[in-house]
Amino acid sequence: MTALSSEDSPVYIRLRGTIAAGILRGDYRAGDQLPSVRALAAEHGANPLTVAKAYQSFQDEGYVEVRRGVGMFVLPGASERLRTAERETFVTQHWPRIHGYIDLLGLDAADLLARERA
């Protein structure tokens, strides 16, 4: 799971990242209904089974609940728990690669951060 998914990631991981980013940004808050599987599939040109797989992962991790015949809804506390999980993923999986690339290119992390603030 990660909101930072690359183009070479499987489609369901990229979709999961899109949904996670929406929850983290507040596009989908506690109690909000997520787009239907068919709607999200059409929007992203994906197979509905692939979207269902991405949604299932959120359900398995307790971020959303399915209301039969109605849809999928964001559970209370999902954003905070998802942010905690995403931070851990970033620190343990993404940051070491990013940091290594910064070092490889001879860049200074402080200069990069200053550049963003300018």
Structurally, what CATH architecture does the domain formed by 11-117 represent?
Answer: Orthogonal Bundle (1.10)
> For the residues of 105-116, what is the DSSP string, one character each?
TT--HHHHHHHH
The pLDDT of residue 6? 61
DSSP state, residue 6: -
- pLDDT band at residue 116 under the 50/70/90 scheme: confident
Q: Express each pLDDT in 48-93 by its tens digit.
A: 999 999 999 999 999 999 999 999 999 999 999 999 999 999 999 9
| Burial profile 15-30: b = 16 or more Cβ within 10 angstroms, e = fewer | bbbebbbbbbeeebee
The pLDDT of residue 51? 95
- pLDDT band at residue 109 under the 50/70/90 scheme: confident
CB 9, CB 89: distance < 8 Å:
no
The pLDDT of residue 2? 56
H-state helical runs in the chain: 11-25, 37-44, 48-60, 78-89, 95-104, 109-117
The pLDDT of residue 108? 92
pTM: 0.82
Nearest to 102 by CA among 93, 92, 113: 113
The pLDDT of residue 49? 96
